[in-house]
Amino acid sequence: MEKQEVIGTQDDTVACDGGSISGHPKVYLSIDIDDGYVICPYCSRCYTLSNKPEALEER
Ligand SMILES: [Zn+2]
């Protein structure tokens, strides 16, 4: 697997366009409240709720 970008957010809905490296059409992703994160199906970025620090510490 490619290295995974982890991006903290305080919103439970994020917009992802892949950034400059692996750009893709902008999509809106809803973070699963139970899991505390969502993974973009296009670029595999992981968005985590930043009020859940344990999710960030896992790596
Ligand atoms: Zn993406």
> Does the pLDDT value for residue 56 go beyond 90?
no
Name the more confident of 3 and 23: 23
CA of 44 to the centre of ligand 1 (A): 6
pLDDT for the residue 50:
84
Q: Which domain holds residue 33?
A: 6-57
CA of 33 to the centre of ligand 1 (A): 19
In angstroms and rounded to an integer, the radius of gyration of the C-alpha atoms of the chain is 11
Token pair of 39, please?
């993974």
CA of 24 to the centre of ligand 1 (A): 7
| Separation between Cα atoms, residue 30 and residue 21, nearest integer Å | 22
- Confidence category of residue 39, pLDDT binned at 50, 70, 90: very high
Residue 12 lies in a domain: yes
CA of 54 to the centre of ligand 1 (A): 23
CATH number at residue 31: 2.60.260.40
CA of 14 to the centre of ligand 1 (A): 10
Number of domains in the chain: 1
Q: What pLDDT digit, counting tens, does each position of 11-34 carry?
A: 999 999 988 766 899 999 999 989
Give CA torsion, residues 5, 15, 29, 43, to 10 deg: -40
| Separation between Cα atoms, residue 9 and residue 54, nearest integer Å | 14
Residue 18 lies in a domain: yes
| Cross-strand bridge partners of residue 49 | 9
pLDDT for the residue 2:
57
Segment 27-55 mean pLDDT: 86
